[in-house]
Structure 1
Amino acid sequence: MSEIRKRNKEVAIEKPSVIDNKIENKTTIFFSRIVVISSLLIVVYFSSKDEKVITFASQTETLIGKGLVVECSQDYINEINKYDECYPKECKRFVTDQVVSAREVDNLLKIAKKGFQFGGSDGGASILDLHSGALSKGQHFINIYKIEATKYLFSENDYNILRVIKEKIKYAVAQHFGADPNKLYLTSPTFFSELTSRKPSNIHDEYWHPHVDKETYRSFHYTSLLYLGDYGVDFKGGRFVFIDEKFNRTIEPKKGRVSMFTSGRENFHYVEKVTSGVRYALTVAFTCDKQFEIN
């Protein structure tokens, strides 16, 4: 009996390392297979979806307003239930070409380009956040306000233009979603984006991955985008794509066009790769939680 116990102890000492190695190897193989299979499924899924695409908003049309109601995701409902006066009448996406004037867009584009000249990602995606000062530069982000040459780059008029446009968009969001504008707060990040066909140099350049805004940015409840150029004229590719169950719906950027939507999983989306030219836009996000407000 004592010999059996001794042998069992010896086996018990020897087994873990052998078993652990086997488990580790099997786990590595297992997850490698999952990654490969998942990648293939994603490719097949989006390839098949690409064959079923509806143009929700064309660049060639001028829209007073066009909306589509979608079923709110449960996670979104559970959270936004806490904010009665900010709660949407319905989850949806809405597009309009009537909120911002062509002159205002021209001024915004000048502001964006003034900032981007001091930065620029090594890849195809750059951002400029005038609230935090974050600017893409090479492989990293820098603070544009810490560059000596930018000390007087932006005028008070530039900031006033931004402020007015953000207010216009906020009231448009409040109107179309039935929220109290006094309970909607500008939140971070709110930023200019510059997308090109340059190959990505890091993960921040890969803007085309499908995602949910609320999962990427905790504070978001409503997302809006103001386009500063025309699809098919200033750039090719770069359409905004909502991923729905039966087919995808696209928004073609148009100068001055504002797209707005609830930020939950009901509006799963991505941006197509830009194949030529430069795509400029301004992302303006709103929260119902005052602790995440930015000025």
Structure 2
Amino acid sequence: MQCLLLAASVLLTANSSLAAAPTLSVVNPPSTYGVHIGDVLTRTLVVEASGGDTLAKNSLPKKGRKQNGIELVGIAVQSQAQSGHTRYTVQFDYQVFAASATPSVMYLPAEKLIVAATTVDIPAWGFWFSPLVTGGTTTARKNILPEVKTPLIDSHVHQQGLVVSLSMTVISLLALLYINADGQWLPFMGGAFARAHRQLKRLAKSAKPKTAAEEKKALVYLHQAFNQHYGANIFARDVDEFVRLRPGFKGLQQEITQFFEASNQSLYDVKSRDSRQLIAQLVQLSKRLRDCERGVS
């Protein structure tokens, strides 16, 4: 009876040890051929450890280890606790740095991991190493491709667009200058009303008191401009004829009539007037007359 009990105890211990042994699965690179210098080969190990068994980190190879033309350039460990066991996923990244003139067989090295007190062996994995160019420098020279010149960008269309844009910008600036400027930098800018407008603006901005004399001077500036356009002295009765001869001023016919009426009152009326206000009104009227003169109103 004691012998039977001893045998049963040995069997239970053996079964327990077998059940506790870690399991290993290896995923090697997908291809065993066509590997060149500089290629990185990834190898993944999955270790299933039962109970509280842990993977000994000091059993892992060191990053940077070189062996027979193979360098371990990366190593990553992940653990995932599951019911009754722990799964360790270990990824090795190997880079090939060997140089060979002919195809040859190389191996990812065998590795050993320690889980609890159990050693897990990972076998070596062989593959074919293919040289980039077979032969010596003569063969390499034959395989050199000539340099291709960088194609030039056709800038003709862009140059045309730039010229058109610059031309439009210059034309727009000249148009704004022609419409708003008081000077005589361009042809047709020095008309009679443009000159009268400049004179009136200077008169309005001067520090002199705006007296009746200043008021009459302002009226004379506009009268001279009307006379120049009409070709003779123009009076209130001639406004209709002036507009007929100069149809560009038709839109201001009412303001022109009011100007001549105000001029007659200023010359012949003895009542005092606000000369400053009248001169300011003449500045605005002369600007509108100048615009008509330039054909931009």
TM-score when scaled to structure 2? Answer: 0.21
TM-score when scaled to structure 1? Answer: 0.21
Relative contact order, higher structure (CA 8 A, sep 6+): 1
Which of structures 1 and 2 has the bigger CA Rg?
2
Higher helix share: 2
